Structure 1
Amino acid sequence: MTNPRFDVAGIGNAIVDVLTQTDDAFLEREGLAKGAMTLVDEAQAAAVYDKAGPAMECSGGSAANTIAVMARLGAKCAFMGKVKDDAFGRIFGHDIRSLGVHFDTAAAADGPATANCLVLVTPDAQRTMLTYLGASIHLKPADVDLGVIKDARVTYLEGYLWDPEDAKQAFRTAAAAARDAGREVALSL
């Protein structure tokens, strides 16, 4: 077994976090449960975003955040996650690459928008999240870079992405390639 090029290769939801300050009155007007995370569709995500105040966007997602922290701590990392060729998709790619993470998953030309999580922060620092999973749940086995998987000491799979059938098959493809290369596989729960 050769020395791996990457310490960790992550596969997970590619999400852009959109953080904005708000107040309890806004949450009440929108009928949002303070402090909760709610899955929403694209229309609801856009409607609340349009009414919210100024925001800051940054790449996110459970496995992507783990990979980002590992890269900041000096690990050589790669990430695979599905985005659309849209503004949020470009933000996600820019942010994760700016940390030195190898990210080369092809962006979708059509279909659902890039996933985003609108994080509404009230003055008491409580976070209310509206999550639109969009393109992220359309990861397919063809999106898995087997060369990267075989060249990573550990392949880290995000448990949140286990539900969609195509993503499940992508995980199985990655795990088999890692196993065949004598590498480790980890699944977040």
Structure 2
Amino acid sequence: MKFPGKRKSKHYFPVSARDPLLQVSQQVQEEGSWVVGIDQTLVDIEAKVDDDFLQRYGLSTGHSLVIDDVTAEALYNELLRDQLISHQFAGGTIGNTLHNYSVLADDRSVLLGVMCSNIQIGSYAYRYLCNTSSRMDLNYLQGVDGAIGRCFTLIGEQGERTFAISPGLMNQLQVASIPEEVIAGASALVLTSYLVRCQPGEPMPEATLRAIEYAKKHNVPVVLTLGTKYVIQDDPQFWRDFLRDHVSIVAMNEEEALALTGETDPLLAANMALDWVDLVLCTAGPTGLYMAGFTEQEYKRKTNHPLLPGAIAEFNQFEFSRAMRQQDCQQPLRIFSHIAPYMGGPEKIMNTNGAGDAALAALLHDITANNFHRQKVPNSSKHAREYLTYSSLAQVCKYANRVSYQVLNQHSPRLTRGLPEREDSLEESYWDR
């Protein structure tokens, strides 16, 4: 079984003589083979400047500062005029995740957020569109009369990085711009913690909660990426309650896991997070990547990999099991998996921003593949139970780990291409072996 999308074309002409037993199911309109996410649409702008430039705009070298729209526009225009900009990348953690998903799956994802109503060629909004996969559906973006978010990375004469952030109108997403039908047919709703913690009076939190309401109504898994430890550590109990009440899958790094749970060990942090959610993805830098979830006790599958020591003894014993939502288990069993960095990590890390988003994109690809296969072959034994993923926990770890490596090995947080063809075997499942 191939994942959603058309990564390979083996025939020049369409082939209609398929297995007659599958023709009926293939004629049914395919639904649930996309993911939808809400994001603060922003562009990362990188430029080399001198110290006078930083002083002129009241920026403190090496620090991060929020600037108003007027200052941001003046700063941007000067960078353009003097041709100081070296890179302009589409940003936003959910935008990055959905883009990477669409590149991996060669299939549709839907982005909800705001976008400038009037876009000039060469502008930051134009660059956002240029750096976004054509498979991402942007038709549901809400137009705004003003700027989207901009994050300026200003590299000084000594190489020190100073950050100037202009939110613009990125948090002005209205409740009316949340389409229930798009969420109802999706495989997952993907959110970030930034959406909930906005300035008083901004409509983004209300729009986010409305999207969650639609997802719960239609039994669509809600995925939350924690974003940054600074948001979580301000009120960890709020986020624990939020996860318990609204979220099925949480993605985090080891610092965010510590802020959320108080556990320094990523494995113990992932285990604690299962008190609130159904599936956990935790990236831990040079330590690798952890996953934790649930499966049915009766159908657990033992690993043939070496059993790993840790705070939970032999924690990967059943990593060949497929993940399920706890509510779908009669006797839920906690399962864990871990993988070290692919090939020990790249020789030179070009960019750490976006590695976690890339890993999450791989997980979303596997979840969507499960729905895709269920629609194609509804009588398959793979769907005798309500599994959340298509592959085993160990195989999802392997896939997520490889995609993270690809981002670490490039300058941009967004994939520019899928994985090499020889690595399509990553799409296979241990379950099928």
Q: Which TM-score bucket, shorter chain as reference?
A: 0.7 to 0.9
* Matched residue type, 1:86: N
Please report the TM-score for the alignment, with normalisation by the length of structure 2.
0.39
How many angstroms apart in 1 are the aligned matches of 2:225 and 2:157? 32
1:93 aligns with 2:105: no
Aligned residue for 1:44?
Answer: 71
1:145 aligns with 2:179: yes
Partner SS state of residue 215, structure 2: helix
Q: Deviations over 1:85-104 (max 9, x none)?
A: 13343432343243x21112
Structure 2 counterparts to residues 9-88 of structure 1, below 5 A = 9-52=36-79, 53-54=82-83, 55=85, 56-74=87-105, 76=107, 77-87=109-119, 88=124
Greater displacement, 124-133 / 150-159: 124-133
How many angstroms apart in 2 are the aligned matches of 1:73 and 1:127? 32
What value does the CA root-mean-square deviation take over the aligned residues?
2.5
Aligned residue for 1:4?
Answer: 32
Contact map agreement 1:82 1:108 (CA 8 A) in 2: yes
How many angstroms apart in 1 are the aligned matches of 2:92 and 2:78? 24
* Matched residue type, 1:84: C
How many angstroms apart in 1 are the aligned matches of 2:144 and 2:51? 38
Mark the CA change 1:151 to 1:127 in structure 2 (over 3 Å): closer, same or farther. Answer: farther
Mark the CA change 1:109 to 1:14 in structure 2 (over 3 Å): closer, same or farther. Answer: closer
C-alpha displacement at 1:82, in angstroms? Answer: 0.6
Contact map agreement 1:114 1:135 (CA 8 A) in 2: yes
Structure showing greater radius of gyration is 2
How many angstroms apart in 1 are the aligned matches of 2:71 and 2:65? 11
Q: What residue ranges of structure 1 are gaps of 5+ in the alignment?
A: none
Greater displacement, 62-71 / 19-28: 19-28
Mark the CA change 1:177 to 1:19 in structure 2 (over 3 Å): closer, same or farther. Answer: same
How many angstroms apart in 2 are the aligned matches of 1:126 and 1:104? 39
Q: Which has the higher strand share?
A: 1
Aligned residue for 1:102?
Answer: 137
C-alpha displacement at 1:149, in angstroms? Answer: 1.2
Identity of aligned residues (%): 25
C-alpha displacement at 1:122, in angstroms? Answer: 3.7
How many angstroms apart in 1 are the aligned matches of 2:53 and 2:44? 19
Aligned residue for 2:208?
Answer: 171
Contact map agreement 1:86 1:114 (CA 8 A) in 2: no
The structure with higher relative contact order (CA 8 Å, sep 6+) is 1
Contact map agreement 1:16 1:60 (CA 8 A) in 2: yes
Please report the TM-score for the alignment, with normalisation by the length of structure 1.
0.82
Q: Deviations over 1:66-111 (max 9, x none)?
A: 222333333742211112213343432343243x21112344253x
